[in-house]
Structure 1
Amino acid sequence: MHRLLSIATACILCQAQAFGAIYKCHEGGRVTYADRPCPGAGAELALRAAPPPDPETQARMARARDMVLEIDKERAEQTLREERDGERARRAALALRKRCDKLRLQRQWLEEDLARTRGDAKEAARIKVRRQAETLAVECPA
């Protein structure tokens, strides 16, 4: 209870610095604090002005604030770079997948041509299929 009263008093005093005077009132054996003059017995509290801020502390705080802003800026730039790199990688993967699909389709067509080929042209068709398979193996190892 005493701690709660101390906290409430501190809050009221802090608000008083920002908003105006504080009054200590005595009502029925109880002490209360208010922002208006007391109806019964009471007195206005003399409030001291806050001490001026320490220049060294202000300078340290300014440096820390600048450092935080710089870190946030670098983090945002890094995130943007990662997003761009990710998009570039997705486009490259899509292009590779298309290229590999095209090579597989060409190999399939050459195999179909080989199956229909007769006579002397069969060996040339077989070489084309083998070369296409080799190209596919080199460009699309998976």
Structure 2
Amino acid sequence: MLRIPVLLLCCLAGQATAATVYKCVENGRPSYSDRPCGRTAVELPAPSSGADPETLARLARQSALVQDIEGARALREQKEARDAARIERAAAVQRRRCDKLRLEAKWAGEDAARAAKDDAGAARIKAKRQAEALAAECPP
């Protein structure tokens, strides 16, 4: 009874196709995988076998699919990097604007504190408006 499944597995193992094996080095220790592990992967040559044409065609289709998926992943990563850079530039512009508004509010407050009696009311109004503009643009 046990001989039939073992014999069946041996027959199936004989028909297994050779696949690309990747050698990866992680923390100084090599590991082997069916997928590349980044830029440090080294593709090992597949052993030659007498595989049937149908299996070779299926393998070629799968390899093309993997390349398509990897290409799409690379495009997605490039888009994400561009988006992140755009967001960072926008944040830097906003930080500069907020810094400028903080300085203007500080200066308006100093001007209001130093204003003479005649100009004190107008200087306080200007300082108040500057503080309101800062609060609206740059919440604390």
**TM-score higher than 0.5:** yes
Q: Which portions of structure 1, spanning 4 or more consecutive aligned residues, are displaced by more than 4 angstroms?
A: none
Deviation (angstroms), 1:56? 2.2
For residue 112 of structure 1, what is the amino acid of its counterpart? E
CA–CA distance in 2 between the matches of 1:78 and 1:102? 36
Matched ranges for 1:20-99 at <5 A: 53-99=51-97
Taking the aligned partners of 2:101 and 2:54, their CA distance within structure 1 comes to 69
Task: Name the structure 2 match of 1:136.
Answer: 134
Give the Cα separation in 1 of the matches to 2:66 and 2:138. 46
Q: State yes or no: 1:113 paired with 2:111.
A: yes
Is there any run of 5+ residues in structure 1 with no aligned partner, and where?
1-49
Structure with more relative contact order (C-alpha pairs < 8 Å, separation 6 or more):
2
Count of residues in correspondence between the two structures: 93
Identity across the alignment (%):
51
Unaligned runs of 5+ in 2: 1-47
TM-score (norm 1): 0.60
Cα offset, 1:52, TM superposition: 5.2
Distance in 2, Cα, partners of 1:124 & 1:98:
27
With structure 2 as the length reference, what TM-score do the two structures score?
0.61
For residues 42-79 of structure 1, the C-alpha deviation after alignment (integer angstroms, 9 at most, x for no partner) is: xxxxxxxx985323212211111111001110111111
In 2 relative to 1, CA 102–51 (structure 1 residues): closer, same or farther, beyond 3 Å?
Answer: closer
Give the aligned CA root-mean-square deviation in angstroms. Answer: 1.7
1:91-133 CA distance string (max 9 Å, x none): 1111111110100000011011101112232111111111111
